[in-house]
Amino acid sequence: MRRILPLVVLVLFALGVLPVNASRMSRAQSGNQPAAGAALSSVKEFKLENGLTLLVIEKPDVTDVACYSVYNVGGCDEWAGVTGLSHFTEHLLFKGSTTINAIDYAKEIPLLKYEDDVRAALQLLEDDARFLVESGRDVPLDMLKKIGALRAEAVRVQGELESLVRSDEFDNMFTAAGGASLNANTWMHRTMYMVTLPANKLELFYWVEADRLSNAVFRQFYKERDVVLDERLRSVENLSSGRIFESALASISEGCTLGSPVLGWPSDMRRYTRPQQLAFWRTFYRPDNAAIVLVGKVDAGEALSLAKRYFGAIPRPETELPRRVKRNENPVGRRKFVGHHDSTPQVALAWSTPGAADAHYVPLDMLARLLNLQSGPLHKRLVDTSKAEGVGVSFYGSKESGMFVIVAVPMAGVSLESIQKEMEQLLEEVRLGGILKEDFESARSQIIVEQTAILEQSENLASLLCESFANGDWRALFENNVRAASLTVDDLARSASAALPANHATLLLALKSDSNVPATPPLLEIPGVPEAGTDTVEIARAAIAEAEKRFDADHFEARQWYDGLAARAIYRQAR
Amino acid sequence: MRRTPIIAIMTVLALTQVLGAEGLGIRQAELDNGLKLVVLPIDGVPRVECRLVYNVGSADDRPGMTGMAHFLEHMMMNGSQTFGSKDWDKENRELEKLDIIADELMATEERIEDNARAGKAPNEDLLDRRDQLKDEFEEQEKICSGLVDDVNVFANAGASSINAFTSADLTAYQATMPTNTLELFFWVHADLMRNCAFRDFYTEREAVLEERRRAIERDKRRLYEQTNALVWEAVPYRNPNLGWPDDVRAIKRRQMIEHYHKYYVPNNAALILTGDITMERATDLASRYFGAIPRAPAPPRLYTRNAIPAGEKFLYAEERDRPSVQVLYETVPGHHADTLALDMLSDWLGSASGPLYKKLVINEQLAVSVNAGHGSMKLGGMFRIRAAVREAGRHEQLNRRINEIVEAVLKGDKEAAPKQEDIEAFAARLERMLTEQLTDMKSAAETLVYSVFSSGVEMFERVVTEARALTPDTVLKRAAVYLVPQRRTTVHVTPPGSGAVPDPKAGTIAELVRRLSEEQDPDRRRELERLVAKLRDEK
């Protein structure tokens, strides 16, 4: 079974903010959705002492169990230097542990440490050289020789490490067990892992997941770094619309970090180091920041005893989880972003809004659905009148903050300004309570019908439970339904006035242009000078010894971590 | 990290010789523990300008903890474990007790706020607990302040200009010391590098929050913050320097101490001394006071740059400020070779003989004044043109003209482009300015503070020669890379109520009436009639 490459989350965003394909727009992108197929009472919730949440829905009439795990970490948790690391961590967690994908871990440890040293020294020297080149100065030959030697050494040690990896063990293991849909994805505020297994193979999932939480080994790190850079190249830089989406997103958000691209900024992605990754993983991958969600043929009691067996011994760290920005300050003016791409022009109004933990969330979610109705006011006003080819609204976000975006693709010959004006007026009508009762009712009934279908399927149910957990409370999956049922037009109007005020909107315009936005230039390449006839390893080792005093805290902590892992692995073997 | 044995005699690693041919007299050294030393002897009064610069600023703040660097700067002014306490062991214990109460108080307040946000009814138990904690907190704070001694350690040493500031890139502490009490500066800051007490944390927090409130009222800080957030997509200069109030309130004392241990280490700091000082005396004092502080693992270094810009950004703000148009271009970091060309062009563009002034102020009477400038920091730079609008409502026109003039200049338009003599004048002015700056001990210290971790102080040795080597052609070619629409952010400041922020109500009634006239369905007609009536009521 091949694992599908993680879906680049940007595609969702692209659909949401500036959709390319009008027919795909009417699907709301929001996370919390009211449920009808399953009831709140069918969810059994357990919490281990270390803070791990376990959610189980027993469905005796099926044969498989959908096994999901979710961690509260994503693009909005990242800071300058580590942007994209949540997504990269997701990639690397399929590279195994001290057991999975390992051939001889004891042999691997010193090599991993050495590879980190080589890479750290190389990065420092390349930075120094780049500084000199950018300042218009020459790079000393000696420095170039060291860079050359370290590069050769990096290639050599990577090859040596490669021979100690048993690839695809992860996939093979699940395939052999009859698993399906092995996958993972990363979003702004959460990372999710999933696999569907035959009921009698549940323990395999537990073992793998616990292993991922405590014994992960970030193999093939620097190879994989090129893979994500390439992913970015394909999905962002080489698309004329790619960078505008990012720029637009960054323009909307000020304080909240939803504007940070999930894939990461290229200047950070090129500089990831394994020790940095390890520190990031240890910060966020902890039992009190995660939930295990099981839906299907599973016994809750057994699920709990397995959870205790596999996760019980993983300690809750004493450090606290990093805090997220809770709220944006009001803008003092109106923002506008104008980008160019080689597709049809688009116009959008966007707001940075409160998130799922806010009372305005459910009304705004409902409003987004209402505006997405084919029979709704937005379509009537813009599509039915042949002013726009397509329209759409997306509303998404984290527990703390969200984004509400209304977008339209005008028909040829219709000005962006006139569409913008129509959207502004429509929004003002909404704020004043000008929603037709019939539109309101059909939005509500559509939700119910949609949800009944969605919640019947185990995978969907598990995935939505994960989303709700990440949004602060899994119960919201069911409770928001009740809340939505009691909403009135005035509730929507009040929330629109509070969260989507006219003067806080950011106007986004994508204009058609034949000249492509140039891609981010590669980092200035520093040519290393390989020294023929001398001992590369000697030069590299001397360069490492010299650079070591400039290594950072992550580097030294990683060394200790490897030692700890080795000790644990030996202990397990001895038992 | 293992503590390395103290080496009494410091090895001077780099650049202790006088630099360059002209020799500005700036000398540099580095202690074994990584502390940088920059010394510029200037003859004159028996005083030394002292600066201790840490290579950490608001750009290093983490999301959710913005304002950390600046808040920490405040805490450094409240004394150490060595000075400022009547009994440190006791004070420390009491401070820790205070932290426990404060943490619970904060968590309780946060839960109350979260409930309110979620639209839940207030929880009486939580409110009671909060009040109880508030009382406990006040009691404990009294106990703590009773243990504080005088922190003003510079008081009787004839020191002046004791101050500190935090920028996006760095945090700097300063004092002007009489030569004979110079040693005190070393003693105090070597002590603070290890033993900062973090006292009066919670009262200081209020001062920090108040500072931002004042900055918003007085300096239109929100405008500045928002502009930065637009320009710096990836670079953390988008962080508000003073922090989001929510974040500042949530910073825990323990987290700040962690931050301090990570960044306030000798290998992340530079001592800058100008005036009545020699390199020998400086190295002697530095190694005596700072030499014993061990090197720590290097703090995280920032290398984030903006990705290639993909679009133009605008901010239409209504503020009680002089109406203006600002055109900003995102450029290059301070060490970059292209900064000089951009400096030259902005200098010339903004001058009275430049085309902006001649055309916009004199000929076309669109602007009252116009200026231009280019400034770079560690991770990026900004080219800025600002014009004060003469007449309300002519922002767009003025904006268009600024862009046209800049475009014409970049095209090398014979009339508009800078000439060789402009470059010579720039180089001469630069040399004069540099000489003036580096002969006045205060401005010399300031100048060195900003360059030590950005372009490097060696830059001063090259800059005049490099400026002389510029030609109009190279200046325009280099500048043309950066002065493009995709890198541009335009800010219009208009008076409140001027319509920059649209009032959509204006067109709504007319539109509804139009739709009403076309609508056949009786239900929909009723809805529309209701709306029109409601809107008219509100007007």
Q: Which residues of chain B neighbour A136 with C-beta distances below 8 Å? A: 337, 466
Whether A390 shows a pLDDT value over 50: the answer reads yes
Quote the crossing angle between the two packed helices B339-350 and B420-439, to the nearest 10°: 100
Q: Which residue has the higher pLDDT, B539 or A401?
A: A401
DSSP A481-547: HHHHHT--HHHHHHHHHHHS-GGG-EEEEEEE-SSPPPPPPPPPPPPP---TTS-HHHHHHHHHHHH
pLDDT > 90 in chain B, percent: 78
Same domain (yes/no): A540, A506: no
- Residues of B (169-228) whose Cβ lies below 8 Å from A: 220, 222-223, 225-226
Residue A509's contacts (CB-CB under 8 Å, 6 or more residues apart) are A336, A337, A338, A339, A345, A346, A347, A348, A416
Same domain, A401 and A546: no
**In the predicted model, is pLDDT for residue A448 greater than 90?**
no
Lookup: tokens for A411:
């028909």
Chain B closest CA to A115's CA: distance in Å? 19
A344 and A408 assigned to the same domain: yes
Which has the minimum average pLDDT: A116-120, A177-181, B503-507?
A: B503-507
Determine the pLDDT at residue B152.
87
Q: Are residues A463 and A571 both part of a single domain? A: no
Q: SS3 sequence, A181-232?
A: EEEEEECCCCEEEEEEEEHHHHHHHHHHHHHHHHCECCCCHHHHHHHHHHHH
* Residue keyed to tokens 């590069």: A151
Provide the β-strand partners of residue B272: B38, B51
- The whole-chain average pLDDT of chain B stands at 90
CB B185 within 8 A of CB B130: no
- Determine the longest span between alpha carbons in chain B, in angstroms: 95
pLDDT at residue A29 is higher than 70:
no
Collapsing DSSP to helix, strand or coil, B196 comes out as: strand
Strand arrangement of the beta sheet that strand A333-341 belongs to: A388-397, A401-410, A346-354, A506-512, A333-341, B311-318, B488-494, B324-330, B381-389, B367-376
A45 in B contact zone (CB under 8 Å): no
- The shortest C-alpha distance from B72 to chain A (Å) reads 18
The answer to whether position A4 is within a domain reads: no
Does residue B18 have a pLDDT over 50? no
Domain co-membership, A344 together with A443: yes
Strand bridging mode A346-354 / A401-410: antiparallel
Q: Which among B65, B117, B335 has CB closest to A135?
A: B335
Average pLDDT over residues B148-160: 88
> What residue in A sits closest to B526 (Cα-Cα)?
A436
User: Would A507 be classed as within a structural domain?
Assistant: yes
- Residue B36 is predicted with a pLDDT of 97
Within this chain, do residues A405 and A461 fall inside the same structural domain, yes or no? Answer: yes
Given A77, A323, A517, which is nearest B308 (Cβ)? A517
Q: How many CB pairs under 8 A join A and B?
A: 225
User: Around B281, how many Cα atoms within 13 Å sit in the side-chain half-sphere?
Assistant: 17
**CA dist., res. B103 & res. B253, Å (int):** 9
Per residue in B404-458, pLDDT (tens digit) is: 999 999 998 777 789 999 999 999 999 999 999 999 999 999 999 999 999 899 8
In B, which residues are within 8 Å of A555 by CB distance? 297
Q: Domain ends where: A464, A497, A512?
A: A512
CA dihedral sign of residues A12, A16, A18, A23: positive
Q: Pick from A465, A446, A468: which is nearest to A455 by CA?
A: A465
pLDDT at B21: 31
Q: Which of A512, A528, A559 is the last residue of a domain?
A: A512
Q: What is the mean pLDDT of residues B95-109?
A: 97
Of B303, B315, B502, the CB nearest to A424: B502
For the record, the structure tokens of A420 come out as: 């913008």
pLDDT for position A525: 73
What is the token pair recorded at A122?
A: 């190389």
Cα dihedral value A243, A246, A251, A254, nearest 10:
-150
Six-digit token string for A159? 């090859």
What pLDDT sits at residue A24? 26
Query: Which domain CATH number covers A380?
Result: 3.30.830.10
Q: What is the pLDDT of residue A331?
A: 86
Closest CA to A59 of A449, A479, A456: A456
B304/A358 CB distance under 8 A:
no
pLDDT, tens only, B341-399: 999 999 999 999 899 999 999 999 999 999 999 999 999 999 999 999 998 889 999 99
| A123-161 tens-digit pLDDT | 999 999 999 999 999 999 999 999 999 999 999 999 999
Over range B171-198, report the average pLDDT: 97
Chain B: closest CA distance from residue A80 (Å): 6
B266-285 confidence digits (pLDDT tens): 999 999 999 999 999 999 99
To which H or E segment does residue B509 belong? helix B505-518
d(CA A332, CA B222): 7
In A, residues 410-449, which contact B (CB 8 Å cutoff)? 421, 424-425, 427-429, 432-434, 436-438
* Residues B229, A521: C-beta atoms closer than 8 Å: no
What is d(CA A489, CA B130) in angstroms, rounded to the nearest whole number? 37
Reported ipTM: the value is 0.90
Structure tokens at A385: 């009148």
Q: Which residues of B touch A279 (CB under 8 A)?
A: none
pLDDT for the residue A523:
60
Q: What is the pLDDT of residues A288-325, one digit of tens each?
A: 999 999 999 999 999 999 999 999 999 999 888 999 98
As a whole number of angstroms, the distance between CA A195 and CA B186 comes to: 61
Contact map slice: B 295-354 vs A, CB within 8 A: 295-305, 307-319, 332-333, 335-337
Contact A336 B59 (CB under 8 A): no
For B115-184, strand residue ranges (E) read: 160-166, 171-178
Is any Cβ of chain A less than 8 angstroms from the Cβ of B1?
A: yes
pLDDT at A552 exceeding the cut of 80: yes
The tens digit of pLDDT for each residue in B278-310 reads 999 999 999 999 999 999 999 999 999 998 888
pLDDT higher than 60, residue B248: yes
Smallest CA–CA distance, residue A78 to chain B, in Å, is: 8
Which residues 70-129 of chain B have a CB within 8 Å of chain A?
Answer: 114, 117-119
Query: What whole-number distance in Å separates Cα of residue B539 and Cα of residue B537?
Result: 5
Share of chain B above pLDDT 70, in %: 92
Residues of chain B in contact with residue A519, where contact means CB-CB under 8 angstroms, are 308
Short-list B468, B114, B361, CA closest to A473: B114
A540-544 average pLDDT score: 95
Poorest-confidence range of A124-133, A432-441, B202-211?
A432-441
**Is A439 found in the same domain as A543?**
no
From the number of C-beta atoms within 10 Å of its C-beta (0-12, 13-18, 19+), residue A24 rates as exposed
Which DSSP letter does residue B222 get? H
Q: Where are the beta strands (DSSP E) in A19-123?
A: 43-47, 53-58, 64-71
* pLDDT of B521 higher than 80: no
Give domain status of residue A567, yes or no.
yes
Residues B111-135, mean pLDDT to the nearest whole number: 95
Q: What is the pLDDT of residue A515?
A: 64
- Average model confidence (pLDDT) across chain A: 86
In whole angstroms, give the CA distance from residue A253 to residue A245.
Answer: 13
> Among A100-114, A307-321, A430-444, B176-190, whose mean pLDDT is lowest?
A430-444
Q: Do residue A489 and residue A414 come from a single domain?
A: yes
Alpha-carbon span A217 to A105, nearest angstrom? 10
Pairing of strands B160-166, A333-341: unpaired
Q: Is residue A207 part of a domain?
A: no
The DSSP letter of residue B181 is G
Instruction: Name the one residue in this structure whose structure tokens are 């542990």.
Output: A97
Cross-chain residue pair B310–A433, CB shorter than 8 Å: no
Please name the residue ranges forming H helices in B290-384.
339-350, 355-356
**Cα(A255)–Cα(A271) distance, rounded to whole angstroms?**
25
pLDDT in tens, A480-490: 878 888 899 99
**Domains identified in chain A, total number:** 2
Name which of B230, B307, B503 is nearest A335 (Cβ-Cβ): B230
Burial of A131 (0-12, 13-18, 19+ CB in 10 A): middle
Residue B1 has pLDDT above 70, yes or no: no
By mean pLDDT, which of A78-82, A439-443, B111-115 is the weakest? A439-443
Same domain? For A563 and A458 the reply is no
Residue A223 has pLDDT above 70, yes or no: yes
A364 and A496 both lie in a single domain: yes
In a domain, A448, yes or no: yes
Contact A320, B58 (CB under 8 A): no
Give the pLDDT of residue B394: 92
CA distance B234 to A574: 49
Asked whether residue A467 carries a pLDDT value surpassing 60, the answer given is yes
B304 → closest Cβ in A77, A265, A335 = A265
Sign of CA dihedral B446, B452, B454, B458: positive
- Min Cα–Cα distance to chain A from B313, Å: 5
Please give the residue that has the higher pLDDT: either A21 or A440.
A440
The answer to whether B507 contacts A421, with C-beta atoms less than 8 Å apart, is yes
Q: Say yes or no to pLDDT of A34 above 50.
A: no
More confident position, A254 or A191: A191
Minimum CA–CA partner of A549 in chain B: B297
pLDDT digits (tens, 9 = 90+) for A487-532: 999 999 999 999 999 888 999 999 988 665 555 555 667 777 766 6
Q: What is the pLDDT of residue A212?
A: 87
How far apart CA B100 and CA B254 sit, in angstroms, is 10
Q: Answer whether residue A169 shows pLDDT above 60.
A: yes
Q: Is the pLDDT of residue B102 over 70?
A: yes
Residue B475 pLDDT: 96
Contacts of A556 (CB under 8 A, 6+ apart): B1, B297
Q: Specify whether A423 is located in the same domain as A568.
A: no
Whether residue B535 lies within 8 A of chain A, CB to CB, comes out as yes
* Selected residues 65-84 of chain A with any CB under 8 Å from a CB in chain B: 76-81, 83
Q: Is A108 among the domain residues?
A: yes
Paired tokens of A93 = 């967690």
A512 and B CB contact within 8 Å: no
Model pLDDT, residue B469: 96
Question: Residue A138 gets which letter from DSSP?
Answer: P
Measured at the alpha carbon of residue B212, what is the angle toward residues B209 and B215, in degrees to the nearest 5? 155
A38-63 confidence digits (pLDDT tens): 688 899 999 999 999 999 999 999 99
Q: Is the model more confident about B270 or about A334?
A: B270
Domain limits for position A152:
103-164+536-575
Using an 8 Å Cβ cutoff, are B425 and B467 in contact? no
Residue A429, in any domain of the structure? yes
Residue A371 falls within a domain, yes or no? yes
With cut-offs at 50, 70 and 90, classify the pLDDT of residue A66: very high
- Whether residue A287 contacts residue A314, with contact meaning beta carbons closer than 8 Å, is answered with yes
Place of tokens 């706020």: B113
A341 and A489 housed in the same domain: yes
pLDDT of A20 > 90? The answer is no
